[in-house]
Amino acid sequence: MNLMDDMRERAKADVQRVAFFEGENPTMIKAVAELTAQGLASCVVVGNVEAIERNAAEQGVSLEGVELVDLADEEANEALAQRFEVLPSCRWKAKGVRRRVVRPMERALMMQALGDVDITFGGIDCPTGDVILGGQEIIGLADGIDTISSMGIFDIPGYEGSAGQLLGFGDSAVCQNPTPEQEASIAISACDTWNALTGSEARCALLSFSTDGSGAGEMVQKVRDARDIANERRPDLKIDGEFQLDAALRPEVAAHKVHRESAVAGKANVIIWPDLNVGNVGVKLVQMFGHANAYGPMLQGFKKIVCDCSRSAPVSEIVGNVVMSCVRAQCLKGE
């Protein structure tokens, strides 16, 4: 059983409630119908119900089993606003809450903050920046985390690493030039995401052009500082660096270049790019020349699971990302 098949089975075993806020999008409503029909998620679609139902009819999909939240329902809007505004995390006054409760994305996030749903999912029409900002304002950052970031998982044909063909990577989508504190946050979040999705322990390498002091300068020092911060914040996680890519992944290279004990060197299953330039190029190199499939990227760093998908995402990709999100939400509840 491959990683995605395993996660689909896990999603079915403990179905999570997922709020979608782009029900008028043809691709998104098809994904909602497929997730519901296959029992992968309990789907809640927030928006203009008439428009959502019309979209579903035009796409020829059934909304049987899908819960619809109508933002035209003033009584329901007021009831939810009253529940939300008394949360300690609510940062708006009464008028601000009531302005936002009728906006699909913010309504979905409010429902999540209240525990009415487990996951918020969107992004096919909504910019990533808006999803991140909404998540930060309404859900908030996880404890010990300084920044929202992303993580993905490669499935690389022919690669034989410590986790077989799988290799986690981050951040390749959000944080452009992370500070040491932010890079530490990316590494911590990536370890938690890897652990949740694969069920195996993360061994996380912070990448650089330098291995264990072979180089010097601000770029190297940033990575070393990030390692120290991550280890101080989460001593339970295996996070180490700075390593070149081959020293992180190949035991024989690590044995030659790393002259100290390391639980990560040569055995890494998660790698952290030093900045978004490297991350973007690295992902495309592995996909183009390694012919890898990439799961994700998934947003991470929120207190709860908030998801953003590509604007060009097909139904299959959305379904896969929702499944991964459900597995992550299960693990978050079990902490």
Contact predicate 194/202, CB 8 Å: yes
pLDDT for the residue numbered 38: 97
Written as one letter, the residue type at 39 is: G
Two domains, one topology: 3-140+302-334 and 149-294? yes
CA distance 310 to 46: 20
Say which CATH topology domain 3-140+302-334 has.
Rossmann fold (3.40.50)
CA distance 84 to 253: 54
pLDDT for the residue numbered 104: 96
Q: Per CATH, the architecture of 149-294 is what?
A: 3-Layer(aba) Sandwich (3.40)
Q: Domain spans of the chain?
A: 3-140+302-334, 149-294
pLDDT for the residue numbered 334: 74
pLDDT for the residue numbered 313: 84
pLDDT for the residue numbered 162: 86
Looking at the DSSP bridge assignments, the partners of residue 173 are none
Laid out side by side, the sheet with 166-170 consists of: 238-243, 203-207, 270-272, 166-170, 149-155, 293-300
pLDDT for the residue numbered 293: 83
pLDDT for the residue numbered 333: 84
Q: What is the CA radius of gyration of the chain?
A: 21
Q: What is the mean pLDDT of each run of 10 residues along the chain (335 residues)?
A: 86 97 96 97 97 97 97 96 95 94 97 97 92 95 92 90 91 93 96 92 97 91 97 97 96 95 96 94 91 87 92 88 94 80
Written as one letter, the residue type at 314 is: P
pLDDT for the residue numbered 11: 95
Half-sphere exposure of 169 (CA within 13 A, CB side): 31
CA distance 227 to 205: 9
Contact predicate 60/83, CB 8 Å: no
Residue with tokens 């998620």: 41
Question: Cβ–Cβ contacts within 10 Å for residue 273, how many?
Answer: 24
